[in-house]
Amino acid sequence: MKNIKITFWFIWFLLVIIWNYGYPEASPFFDVLIAVLLSILNLIALKFFKK
């Protein structure tokens, strides 16, 4: 399970980086919003793969 958590964390991190470089004109509010949404999706995916 620990390897899955680490893998999902790296995927989340990569997506946040892609967002920040893909949309550099985005406001800080949207940067935080996207990071939070990706984090929620990360938690949902972890629950799905945990079963």
Q: Please state the domain count of the chain.
A: 1
CB 12 within 8 A of CB 42: yes
Q: Is the pLDDT of residue 34 over 90?
A: yes
DSSP state of 25: T
Domain, as residue range, for 32: 2-50
Q: Confidence class of residue 37 from pLDDT cuts 50, 70 and 90?
A: very high
Q: Confidence class of residue 51 from pLDDT cuts 50, 70 and 90?
A: low
What's the pLDDT tens digit per position in 1-30? 688 889 989 999 999 999 999 999 999 999
CA dist 14 and 34 (Å) reads 13
Q: For the whole model, what pTM was predicted?
A: 0.80
CA dist 12 and 40 (Å) reads 10
Quick one: average pLDDT of 24-40?
Answer: 94
